[in-house]
Structure 1
Amino acid sequence: MKQTGLKIKQKWKFFSMFITCYLPHLLSMAQSSTPILRIGIMADMQYADKTDHGSRFYHNSLMKVDTAVDFFNRNKVDFSLILGDLVDEGPKDLPVLLKHLSPLKKPTYCLLGNHDYVNVSNPDLLHSTFGMPDKYYAFTKGKWRFVFLNTNALSEYATTANSAERSEWKLLVDSLQANGRKNTQPWNGGVDHKQLLWLQNELAQARKNKEHVIVLTHHPLLPENGYETLNNRQVLAILYKFPEVKLVLSGHNHKGNFVQENNIPFVTMEGMIETPASNAYGLLELYPKEIKIKGHSRLTSRVFKF
């Protein structure tokens, strides 16, 4: 009986040590395998009812959207992000695309791209056509703040003649051309002064609330290869002040890209419109100390620790 009691005592000691030393670690591992947020991501569908051109297969975007929507629903995403150029020739083709997006069971948040502005008479109201709360906006989910910038604000295609924004765009382009910049293309745009102030305020609020930040843009901020936001350096100067920024995610350059500067990963998503069959969509998964992009088809998978 004494031997049996001793064995029980030893087993209980081992069990107590397991509870104290190993169980918290195992629980932590289990928790870290489950993302805080799972988000569907896609960019540059550029749907249009027109003949294919080069590597762009306009009608095929509907089939690709259907595939992505079904995948997002099966993976129970918390919401989805679309980073601009939903359509190729402005809102005339939007109703058809929205019909294919409608089976999504969770909300979708989007940005506008340069192609979304084609044949638009009143660019100031275009965001409401696409179901956006404003031309640029932000929201929080738990301890994550999502900041959506309007990189079309300073452009010829998204401003009206004689407007303050058109004048600001012209001054900016003239300055960039004088300095030999290659991004002064008609399909690129920039961020206006009022929006830069708003961005700084959003990031300051995130710092106050101890939040992580993901910045979403249509035109990339980096690398500087001719596709970048016109005044990308002004935007970057603000972002670099805030280590709360954990990721900048963009569209526009259909080839995709990646660069890391000042501890911020800048990811350009591959465009869905490209190639007849290969798709480009994925999941953005957020963890306490890690961000994962799980790409499908042409979208590149990436992991960032912070």
Structure 2
Amino acid sequence: MNQRHDIGRRTLLRDGSLVLTATAIAPSLLMERQAFADNSANAVRIGLVTDLHYADKPPAGSRHYRETLDKLEAASQQFASDQPDFLVELGDLIDAADSVEVEQRYLKTINTNFAAICDERHYVLGNHCVDTLTKQEFLAGVEKEHSYYSFDREGIHFIVLDSCFRSDGKSYGRRNFHWTDANVSAEELEWLRGDLKSSSKPTVVFAHQRLDVSNHHGVKNNAEVRKAFEESGNVLAVFQGHSHQNDLKEIGGIHYCTLAAMVEGSGLQSNGYCVMDIQPDGTIKIAGFARQASYQWDV
């Protein structure tokens, strides 16, 4: 049985990065990490972006939709240098369009550029991804079959979540929702609990809507989701977007890291993206670029 002990951390500033150090952790997870290290596993390197909101339309407020193409190109150059094992896009890859045809054109344009960066890519569904499209149309456009799933790399378990469900359990699509009514469906929550129980590996979660706040940016039933994370004893961190600004919370010994949106602000100095390394001992280091903050969490 997995048990999670309270985790105490001290926060330090090191080389401009926030460092959070664990002083205690669940024995089962420590044994898993030790086995991970003893097997000479490699670090996992991940390129992360969120809230690109690409659209061929004029700026609106602080969102500069067309500039996303240049910002993504700048990120791609960094990723080419750092050679991540895979990329994760944390939602809102595109912005809303007036028709399905136009929104599919937005998706094809931005995903052609995104797909050129790395062979392995993972897409988290954001509310803007299915403003005009259905989930099936979006997933077909990025050549994916499922909106939530899990996979393993080098001894780490990764989970991709979909919070684009209404309170009544119906999927978002074709403007049938209000963006503040974000939920993990009962079916997905049941799958999540089972998936977490099936793996004893250190786990990292990718989401769009926030799982750490109760305001309009938060998933309405996120307390149930967090309970599943905490009961598993294995979740290291959750990476999310949606609110467009850097933020970091620790709840139940788990880091909830919200990343900066690529679409916000004009010019490459307003870009936001990062490269994350997960070391064999479970240490997570995030190198942020432009507006994206950097962090390091040591075990």
TM-score interval, smaller chain: 0.7 to 0.9
Give the structure with the larger helix fraction: 1
- Count of aligned residue pairs for this structure pair: 249
Is 1:283 aligned with 2:248?
no
C-alpha separation in 2, matches of 1:129 and 1:283: 25
Give yes or no for the alignment of 1:238 onto 2:245.
no
Residue equivalent to 2:126: 113
Whichever residue aligns with residue 142 of structure 2, its letter is F
1:125 CA drift (Å)? 4.6
Match in the other structure for 1:302: 295
Distance 1:87 1:187, change over 3 A: farther
2:239 pairs with 1:261: no
**In 1, distance between residues paired with 2:42 and 2:263?**
29
Choose which of 127, 132, 153 in structure 2 pairs with 1:141: 153
The answer on whether the counterparts of 1:294 and 1:300 sit within 8 Å (CA) in structure 2 is: yes
Contact 1:223 1:258 in 2 (8 A): no
Alignment of 1:139-288 (within 5 A): 139-154=151-166, 158=172, 186-207=179-200, 211-277=201-267, 278-287=270-279, 288=281
**In the aligned structure 1, how far is the partner of 2:173 from the partner of 2:122?**
23
Instruction: Flag as ranges the 4+ runs of structure 1 deviating above 6 A.
Output: none
Per-residue CA deviation, residues 249-288 of structure 1 (Å, 9 max, x unaligned), is 0010102211001110000111000000211001011011
50, 58, 62: which one aligns with 1:43: 50
Decide whether aligned partners of structure 1 residues 188 and 297 sit closer, same or farther in structure 2, where only a CA change above 3 A counts. Answer: farther
TM-superposed deviation, 1:131? 2.2
Partner of 1:177: none
Give me the TM-score of the superposition, normalised by structure 1.
Answer: 0.76
Q: What residue identity is the alignment partner of 2:117?
A: L
The 1:275–1:35 alpha-carbon spacing in structure 2 relative to 1, beyond 3 Å, is: farther
User: Which of residues 50, 61, 65 in structure 1 aligns to 2:68?
Assistant: 61
Q: CA deviation at 1:229?
A: 0.8
**What RMSD in Å do the two structures reach over aligned CA positions?**
2.2
Identity of aligned pairs, percent? 26
Match of 2:3 in 1: none
Q: After superposition, give the CA deviation of every residue in 1:12-52 in whole Å (9 maximum; x if it has no partner).
A: xxxxxxxxxxxxxxxxxxx9xx9611110000000001110
In 2: Cα distance, 1:92 partner to 1:188 partner: 27
- How far did 1:75 drift? 0.8
* C-alpha distance in structure 2 between counterparts of 1:224 and 1:153, whole Å: 16
Higher relative contact order by CA 8 Å / sep ≥ 6: 1 or 2?
2
Instruction: Say if 2:91 is the partner of 1:84.
Output: yes
Distance 2:181 2:130 in 1: 12
Q: List runs of 5+ in structure 1 lacking aligned partners.
A: 1-30, 170-184
Does the 8 Å contact 1:114/1:188 carry over to 2? Answer: no
TM-score where L is the length of structure 2: 0.78
Q: How far apart in 2 are the matches of 1:188 and 1:293?
A: 30
Tell me the secondary structure at the aligned position of residue 241 of structure 1. Answer: helix
**Amino acid across the alignment from 2:83:** K
Secondary structure, counterpart of 2:69 in structure 1: helix
Amino acid at match of 1:130: V
Mapped contact 1:128–1:134 kept (Cα < 8 A):
no
User: Is the Cα contact below 8 Å between 1:41 and 1:284 reproduced in 2?
Assistant: yes
Query: In structure 1, what residue type is equivalent to 2:271?
Result: N
Greater C-alpha radius of gyration: 1
